[in-house]
A and B are shown apart, each in its own frame.
Chain A
Amino acid sequence: MSAIYTMGIDIGSTASKSVILKDGKEIVSKAVIDVGAGTSGPKRVIEEVTKEAGLSREEISFILATGYGRNSLLEWADHQMSELSCHAKGANYLFPNVRTVIDIGGQDAKVLKVGPNGVLSNFVMNDKCAAGTGRFLDVMAKILEVKVSELEGLSAQSTEDVSISSTCTVFAESEVISQLAKGVHKNDIIKGIHRSVAGRVGGLAKRVGIEDDLVMTGGVALNGGVVKAMEEALNHEIKTSPLTQYAGAIGAALFAYKKYEGVNKK
């Protein structure tokens, strides 16, 4: 019996991610492009993930799209689902005992309650404001003239606590500029920024209640500085994975497999 390949595509606001699964279990290829909905990202990520797997569109049995830009792939994908369910499912793939997921993406932050088998049982999301999301970190990194990928290392070198009181990106921008003007060390400011994100998103997590395993997914989870600040804010161990950014795409590919099975059983 030949293998069944399913694809999950997660089109976020700032990145496009895709994963191809073999028989609903094994990741055979993955790709990420650092631009998201409304850009060339979706097309490029599909090309890259299929190329890496050495497969053609026809060889993929079912494709499921998720994320903010999922509707742009309606013609291409077989089905679409919210990123909420996909992240819950993907986190369950990475950590089978997951019960709470904190997912911080480019423009939104969400806390998911997850039941056995990765079933989404409840969730809370950020309000319309993008405070405490990846966008906040992007803007802060720009002001501080560092790369987002450098934030973790720099915050680890912090020696003094600096408070960034505002979570509003616009206000925090002027606050950071004023701290820099006062001569406050960049590393300390970055740590303060991480604590600011952790405080805001941690508040959402407290609202729905935290149960083990607590897992962080989404692009921001790649920044260990935020994860550490979040652990301190919640006084709780947080699990992450090198595949964290793919959690939504993995979940989508798993749902794609389930859908394929469902269709073919009928």
Chain B
Amino acid sequence: MSEAINKPAEEKKAAKYVLREVVEREVYQAAWDAKKRGEPVGWSSSKFPSEITEALGLNLVYPENQAAAIGAKHGGERMCEHAEAMGFDNDICAYARINLAYAAGHEAEEKPMPQPDFVLCCNNICNCMTKWYENLARMHNIPLIMIDVPYANTKEPDQNKIDYIRGQFDDAIKQLEKIAGRKMDMEKFEEACSNANRAAKAWLKVCSYLQYTPAPFAGFDLFNHMADIVTARAKKATALAFEQLADELEENVKTGKSTWKYDENHRIMFEGIPCWPQLGKLFKPLKERGINTTAVVYAPAFGFEYNNMDELMAAYCKAPNSVCIEKGVEWRETICKENNVDGILVHYNRSCKPWSGYMPEMERRFRKDLGVAVAGFDGDQADPRNFSEEQYNTRVEGLFEVMQANKAAKEGGNK
């Protein structure tokens, strides 16, 4: 008793550190440990229903997350060149190229992870996934478990689509039971679903704090916190860490604090995946002009809640580039309105053809429907060769100048 009293009170770690630890400990370290124990480790696409593997006690790591980390640590170009030398064209997604190079044995000290014993692919996030994961399965001669989500041509998925996905979901469970060597425990599955819902709810709450003016945090922070919602969605520790983050932000709102340390002259939506190798370069001209990113599409896309199996299937149909254009426009324009943006910065991502492909039409709709300034720039989520800092700066400056002009016009000024 006295010992406990004499111990100095442990300082509570900030949520951002807790979140980082959850990914490192419960995802990557857990996978290395499993590998050492001789247990199978899987590689999973970011929006595969991990509730199944969580319930079966299988460990997963995430190629997209790994590729983003390698990209951010400036290893993307090296890995892409390895993949290109293997025959993968440089028009292919840079995440895919980085990961395929890693799978082929090219080391990446920036973010090592164990090689796969099985791969899980859900093409809701993009169709390039299918061929990417087929290649992984062939390279390692391992099982590929696939859940095909048909492209959406309606705002909401109909029952036929839900049934089609459900069939594959059930089949995936059977295949994964064989890999795990045990039967699915429904209680554990429900617990995983409950954790995923709790984490999603807290994550969406975190995202929603960007509605405040001024915002209690820098919108780019969301990109940094995404790792957890992508790789550790069905874990309790994730839910707890996001709840802590939501509490911190609520406190920021009360006290008027923010992690955004600059003026908030303007608020924008950042459309697309950031250029991970150039985060600093992306951020610099924004912070210099007091432009906070108070809306993003990418981050909340991984926060989805459901109440039953049909809703779970429907939730996995929704990803930023797999919803029909009407839904996509509605989704983004709602975020823009709720989060009071004055402008939109669109990343034409050379790695993500589906996402970038429908952007010119979306841009047109944003201009027409929202009447806000819109600027597009060319870049890449992980291949630094597809980004030009000078061109980006000019476009941000132009966006700023249009927002300034709009602001002056609103305030009755005349240029």
A interface residue numbers (CB < 8 A to B): 68, 81-85, 108, 115, 117-125, 127-128, 207-208
Contacts and interface: CB of A to CB of B under 8 A. Distances in A.
Nearest to A258: B415
30 contacts: A68-B390, A68-B394, A81-B397, A82-B397, A83-B394, A84-B394, A84-B397, A84-B398, A85-B398, A115-B405, A115-B409, A117-B414, A117-B415, A118-B415, A119-B405, A120-B405, A121-B405, A121-B406, A122-B373, A123-B375, A123-B398, A123-B402, A124-B363, A124-B376, A125-B375, A125-B394, A127-B348, A128-B386, A207-B363, A208-B367
A186 B122 CA distance: 53
B221 to A, nearest CB: 28
Contact of A119 (B363, B367, B386, B415): B415
Contacts of B378: 127-128
B332 to A, nearest CB: 18
A252 to B, nearest CB: 13
B376 A125 contact: yes
Nearest to A84: B398
Contacts of A81: 397, 401
Contact of B364 (A117, A120, A125, A207): A207
Interface residues of B, number: 26
Nearest to B364: A207
A215 to B, nearest CB: 18
A81 B401 CA distance: 9
Contacts of B394: 68, 82-84, 108, 125
Contact of B401 (A68, A84, A108, A128): A84
Nearest to A107: B391
A226 B405 CA distance: 31
B388 interface: yes
B374 interface: yes
B360 interface: yes
Given A83-B394, A127-B378, A128-B388, A120 B402 contact: yes
A108 B360 contact: no
A82 B364 contact: no
B395 interface: yes
